[in-house]
């Protein structure tokens, strides 16, 4: 699974750098919260510590949308 997490994180960052919001969201589709958090952290996005699905994804989707709007990856969004 660690290799899959790294691959998904890379795909997430590639999608946001292209400005492909749908592609970025599709990268996380169907993942459990723990796996989505690992992918997001690996990609440089901040995640909340909540275990409730709706608030977790609401916060993460806002970050991903902003990264896609700016056409940057998760790490660059933090700078």
- How far is the C-alpha of 5 from the C-alpha of 35, rounded, in Å? 8
- pLDDT tens per residue across span 20-74: 999 999 999 999 999 999 999 999 999 988 778 899 999 999 999 999 999 999 9
Residue-range definition of the domain harbouring residue 25: 2-78
State the pLDDT at residue 2. 76
Instruction: Kindly compute the dihedral angle of the four CA atoms of residues 69, 71, 77, 79, in this order, to the nearest 10 degrees.
Output: -120
Question: Above 90 in pLDDT, residue 78?
Answer: no
Q: How many domains does the chain have?
A: 1
Closest CA to 19 of 62, 69, 64, 63: 69
- Give the helix ranges, DSSP H, for the chain: 2-18, 21-28, 33-42, 53-70, 74-78
State the pLDDT at residue 7. 98
State the pLDDT at residue 48. 83
């Amino acid at each position: 699974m660690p290799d899959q997490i790294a691959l998904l994180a890379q795909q997430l960052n590639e999608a946001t750098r292209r400005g492909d919001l749908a592609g970025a969201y599709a990268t996380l589709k169907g993942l459990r919260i723990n796996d989505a958090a690992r992918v997001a952290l690996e990609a440089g996005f901040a995640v909340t510590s909540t275990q409730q699905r709706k608030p977790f994804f609401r916060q993460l989707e806002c970050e991903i949308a902003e990264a896609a709007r700016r056409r940057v990856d998760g790490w660059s969004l933090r700078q």
